[in-house]
């Protein structure tokens, strides 16, 4: 692609992998070892080694092994999956819309899921048992993104600027509908909705992790597969078409993958904001905008940040636990303001 020099690209991607892979491993080990039952890093590694038949590095107690395997490991796995899905979806949307402020929440994806979950909770629907809420969240996010895309579709093409404006409007409508359902809820339902909207990984189980993993895998692999078409789209839609890129099909594919990944993540973790906004920017500022590096490295950094945020959320106010959405918002809101001020400086003559 014009502007992308192969040696420099491979150098940046290698440097990124050398930093982000150890960072993710460090966050995972720290999160697995920290809590009411303290487990040292070597004990964490020994417990994991024993699970795969490798010799242990040091001794550990049965209680430490039980806590790690039954409580902390599924929670950390869910944090990795949710962070990866939100970050890669944000990176792909920013490339598709060519707007650095785009994230899944801006297009109403998270808002649609929120309305669906609020409706299921208030009307006490349990059609699919424990899978009712996740399926409803996914369908809500998919419905919201389809409405936004349909409204922005004109003359056989999707108007990107119109899509952003429609997304803002649909998101505002979703917030209002969620507020209405919250108003109609009982005390118990209100408590469920409030905690869900603030986000949490406390409900992680191996069942929810196994249900989430294939959906996130499809989202991440699919997005990474589309890196070269997204690079072509950076040149503008007309130039991308001249290069043979099926732009409309690319848009719908990315939108579907975003709905799949974000809907699944929101379904199991609730509303967790700013990961999809912050992470792609941090990677882009350090390593450039080539999506062949941006998408996989955003996946790693998003997973690391969410695991780290969850560690902060469950340890900063012991014995209580902060909703993880509060932690990400406290970090993300100042970062969003920084982006706005930076954009203004860049466009000021």
Report the number of distinct structural domains present in the chain: 1
Mean pLDDT for all residues in the chain: 83
Q: From CA 266, how far away is CA 264, in angstroms rounded?
A: 6
Q: From CA 249, how far away is CA 258, in angstroms rounded?
A: 14
Q: Is residue 220 part of a domain?
A: yes
User: Does residue 302 contact residue 25 with C-beta atoms inside 8 Å?
Assistant: no
Q: Is residue 252 part of a domain?
A: yes
* pLDDT, position 9: 60
Q: 343 falls in which pLDDT band (50, 70, 90)?
A: low
The pLDDT of residue 79 is above 70? yes
Q: Is residue 10 part of a domain?
A: no
Segment 8-34, tens digit of pLDDT: 666 777 888 888 999 999 999 999 998
106: enclosing H helix or E strand: none
Q: Which whole number is the average pLDDT over 69-74?
A: 91
Beta bridge partners of 154: 157
Q: Is residue 322 part of a domain?
A: yes
Prediction pTM value? 0.86
Q: Is residue 257 part of a domain?
A: yes
Q: Which residues, including other chains, have CB under 8 Å from residue 182's CB and lie 6 or more apart? A: 118, 190, 193, 194
Instruction: Give the domain CATH number at 80.
Output: 1.10.3470.10
* pLDDT, position 222: 92
The pLDDT of residue 2 is above 50? no
Q: 83 falls in which pLDDT band (50, 70, 90)?
A: very high
Segment 229-254, tens digit of pLDDT: 988 888 877 888 888 888 888 888 88
Q: How far is CA 201 from CA 98, 139, 225, in A?
A: 31, 21, 29
Q: Which whole number is the average pLDDT over 79-103?
A: 87
> Which domain, by its residues, includes 71?
21-335
* pLDDT, position 156: 65
């Amino acid at each position: 692609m014009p502007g992308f020099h192969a040696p420099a690209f491979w150098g940046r991607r290698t440097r990124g992998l050398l930093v982000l892979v150890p960072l993710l491993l460090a966050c995972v080990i720290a999160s697995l070892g920290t809590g009411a039952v303290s487990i040292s890093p070597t004990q964490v590694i020994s417990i994991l080694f024993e699970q795969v038949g490798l010799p242990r590095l040091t001794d550990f107690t049965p209680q430490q092994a039980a806590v790690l395997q039954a409580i902390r490991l599924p929670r950390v796995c869910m944090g990795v999956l949710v962070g990866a899905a939100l970050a890669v979806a944000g990176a792909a949307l920013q490339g598709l819309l060519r707007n650095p402020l785009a994230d899944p929440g801006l297009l109403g994806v998270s808002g649609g899921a929120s309305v669906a979950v609020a409706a299921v909770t208030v009307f006490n629907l349990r059609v699919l048992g424990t899978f009712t809420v996740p399926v409803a969240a996914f369908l809500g996010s998919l419905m919201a993104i389809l409405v936004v895309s349909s409204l922005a579709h004109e003359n056989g093409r999707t108007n990107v600027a119109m899509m952003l404006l429609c997304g803002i409007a649909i998101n505002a409508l979703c917030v209002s509908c969620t507020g209405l359902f919250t108003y109609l809820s009982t005390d118990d339902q209100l408590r469920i909705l409030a905690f869900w909207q603030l986000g949490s990984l406390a409900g992680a189980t191996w069942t929810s992790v196994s249900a989430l993993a294939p959906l996130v895998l499809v989202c991440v692999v699919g997005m990474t597969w589309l890196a070269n078409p997204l690079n072509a789209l950076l040149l503008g839609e007309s130039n991308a078409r001249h290069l043979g890129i099926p732009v409309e099909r690319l848009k719908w594919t990315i939108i579907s993958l975003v709905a799949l990944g974000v809907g699944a993540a929101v379904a199991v973790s609730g509303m967790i904001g700013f990961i999809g906004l912050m992470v792609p920017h941090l990677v882009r500022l350090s390593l450039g905008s080539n999506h062949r590096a941006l998408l996989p490295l955003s996946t790693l950094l998003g997973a690391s940040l969410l695991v780290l945020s969850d560690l902060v959320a469950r340890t900063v106010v012991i014995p209580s636990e902060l909703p993880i959405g509060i932690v990400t918002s406290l970090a993300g809101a100042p970062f969003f303001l920084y982006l706005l001020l930076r954009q203004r400086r860049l466009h000021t003559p």
